[in-house]
């Protein structure tokens, strides 16, 4: 509520001053937040009235100037609306006019507070379900039972100790340090230093005769083998001799599908089905 007087002192005092509660129409949760056009109409309306009683504050004058620039294409409409509202206010009685002005000013003081004042309408930085009109559902007995069951399963699950995790990392580094040029010097020489291209030629994606070091890396895992173009080619040739190369072709098609654009998914899935999965397919 607010005092019905011209005083700018908003402190509630124990005296004979009359107070009014804000009309429900101006309650913040009744309507959506006002836009700049509505604020511009309010400010323009006050400039058309008695400057001594309805004069704008410095921050309001600055806001009005900015709104005139930003809403230049709508300013004729804003001025017309402000003039119309001023005409309607002249019909009201003096007491009703004073109450209406006080309520409107209180409304805009909430939605467009002066500089330095905390806005009570500032949104919470952490979203809550209540913003979407959804209340948090109370947990039922069944929900608590499922939660207890989940916690029991978590207790029985094997957890990796920090020492074991560190041991695995050390083992991984020891296995792959031979193939890391930052740890082990490149052989025969680093082409960036010596300008000798032999290293790049021996380790190009596709070579006729792979180096021994490269073959040893293939033996570490199947992933290392198929991720190397030369290793994938050698593995495909071996499977072709064993009359099972359609397995690696299917694997390659699925991996290509996983990395495809959304627009290509449908026809690539159809191709895989027709070639590998359909009854009587060439590579069934």
For residues 218 and 228, is the Cβ–Cβ distance under 8 A?
Answer: yes
Q: Percent of the chain scored above 90 by pLDDT?
A: 14
98 in the same domain as 32: yes
| Mean pLDDT confidence for 113-135 | 66
Kindly state the greatest CA–CA separation across the chain: 105
**Residue 279 belongs to a domain:** no
- The CA–CA distances, whole Å, from 141 to 137, 250, 251 equal 13, 48, 47
Residue with the bigger pLDDT between 254 and 99: it is 254
Phi, psi (rounded to 5 degrees) for 93: -70, 165
Q: Identify the pLDDT of residue 167.
A: 92
63-67, 101-105, 170-174, range with the lowest pLDDT: 101-105
Q: In whole angstroms, give the CA distance from residue 114 to residue 57.
A: 9
| Mean pLDDT confidence for 253-263 | 87
**Residue 132 belongs to a domain:** no
Q: In whole angstroms, give the CA distance from residue 44 to residue 56.
A: 10
| Mean pLDDT confidence for 130-148 | 77
Number of domain units in the chain = 2
**Residue 46 belongs to a domain:** yes
106 in the same domain as 19: yes
Q: Identify the pLDDT of residue 168.
A: 92
| Mean pLDDT confidence for 73-97 | 88
Q: Identify the pLDDT of residue 284.
A: 66
Residue with the bigger pLDDT between 34 and 66: it is 66
pTM above 0.85, yes or no: no
Q: Identify the pLDDT of residue 76.
A: 92
**Residue 178 belongs to a domain:** yes
| Mean pLDDT confidence for 66-92 | 90
103 in the same domain as 180: no
* pLDDT band at residue 1 under the 50/70/90 scheme: very low
Pick the closest to residue 234 from 206, 201, 276, 203 (CA basis).
206
Phi, psi (rounded to 5 degrees) for 55: -65, 150
Q: Identify the pLDDT of residue 22.
A: 65
107 in the same domain as 28: yes
109 in the same domain as 17: yes
* pLDDT band at residue 18 under the 50/70/90 scheme: low
Q: Identify the pLDDT of residue 81.
A: 92
| Mean pLDDT confidence for 128-134 | 55
Last residue of a domain, one of 116, 131, 158: 116
Domain range enclosing 32 = 2-116
- The CA–CA distances, whole Å, from 91 to 95, 96, 97, 147, 234 equal 12, 10, 9, 66, 94
Q: Identify the pLDDT of residue 161.
A: 83
169-178, 220-229, 243-252, 259-268, range with the lowest pLDDT: 243-252
Last residue of a domain, one of 155, 181, 202: 202
Kindly tell me if the per-residue pLDDT of 171 is higher than 90: yes
Kindly tell me if the per-residue pLDDT of 128 is higher than 60: no
Per-residue H/E/C for the chain: CEECCCCCCCCCCCCCCCEECCCHHHCCCCCCCCCHHHHHHHHHHHHCCCHHHHCCCHHHHHHHHHHHHHCHHHHHHHHHHHHHHHHHHCCCCHHHHHHHHHHHHHHHHHHCCCCCCCCCCCCCCCCCHHHHCCCCCCCCHHHHHHHHHHHHHHHHCCCCCHHHHHHHHHHHHHHHHHHCCCCCCCCCCCHHHHCCCHHHHHCCCCCCCCCHHHHHHHCCCHHHHHHCHHHHHHHHHHHHHCCCHHHHHHHHHHHHHHCCCHHHHHHHHHHHHHHHHCCCCCCC
Task: Convert 236-255 to b/e letters by CB count within 10 Å (16 or more is b).
Answer: eeeeeeeeebbebbeeebee
């Amino acid at each position: 509520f607010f005092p019905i007087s011209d005083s700018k002192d908003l402190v509630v005092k124990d005296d004979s001053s009359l107070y009014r509660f804000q009309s429900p129409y101006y309650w913040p949760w009744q309507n959506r937040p006002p836009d700049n056009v509505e604020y511009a109409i309010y400010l323009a309306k006050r400039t058309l009235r008695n400057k001594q009683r309805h004069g704008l504050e410095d921050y309001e004058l600055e806001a009005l100037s900015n709104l005139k620039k930003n809403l230049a294409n709508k300013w004729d409409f804003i001025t017309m609306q402000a003039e119309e509202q001023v005409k309607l206010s002249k019909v009201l009685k003096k007491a009703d006019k004073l109450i209406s002005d006080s309520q409107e000013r209180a409304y805009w003081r909430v939605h467009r507070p002066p500089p330095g004042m905390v806005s009570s309408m500032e949104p919470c930085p952490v979203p809550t379900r209540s913003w979407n009109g959804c209340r948090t559902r109370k947990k039922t007995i069944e929900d608590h039972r499922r939660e207890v069951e989940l916690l029991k399963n978590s207790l029985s699950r094997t957890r990796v100790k920090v020492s074991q995790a560190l041991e695995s990392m050390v083992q991984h580094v020891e296995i792959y340090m031979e193939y890391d040029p930052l740890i082990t010097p490149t052989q025969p020489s680093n082409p960036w230093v010596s300008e000798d291209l032999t290293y790049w030629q021996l380790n190009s994606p596709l070579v006729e005769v792979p180096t021994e070091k490269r073959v040893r890396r293939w033996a570490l895992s199947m992933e290392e083998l198929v991720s190397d173009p030369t290793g994938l080619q050698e593995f495909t040739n071996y499977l072709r001799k064993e009359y099972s190369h359609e397995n690696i072709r299917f694997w390659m098609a699925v991996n290509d599908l996983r990395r495809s654009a959304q627009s290509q998914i449908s026809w690539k899935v159809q191709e895989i089905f027709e070639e590998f999965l359909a009854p009587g397919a060439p590579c069934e």
